[in-house]
Amino acid sequence: MVIQKMHDIGIRSEHAYMAALASIGLSIATWATSLNAEPGAGIARADRWGIFVGEWAPTFFGLGLALSHYEQHDGTLTASVHDLHREGEAA
């Protein structure tokens, strides 16, 4: 499983969230840089660059959520109904 492998190599949910926030900032910086560096290309090209980098953020947020869920459940992605029932009886 991809999330388990990421967790095993030391990537945590905080890392994915930081990458998502960084990609939002990088999207704005890329847009501004493209707009200033290539004035002949126009705003459409700058928009394409900004959108391209901005599309990374949802992926990183999704990975962050999956890693957070994995971390909260002691390395299991889902609890079985039997486990949940057993926890309910213990409480």
Structure tokens at 61: 């947020």
Report the alpha-carbon distance of residue 42 to residue 83 in Å, rounded: 58
pLDDT at 85: 61
What is the tens place of the pLDDT at every residue in 6-63?
999 999 999 999 999 999 999 999 888 888 877 777 788 888 888 888 899 999 999 9
Structure tokens at 63: 């990975």
Task: Compute how many other C-beta atoms are within 10 angstroms of the C-beta atom of residue 61.
Answer: 17
- Asked if pLDDT for residue 76 goes beyond 60, the answer is no
31, 49 Cβ separation under 8 angstroms: yes
Domain assignment of residue 35, given as a range: 2-90
pLDDT at 32: 87
Number of domains composing the chain: 1
pTM score over 0.75:
no
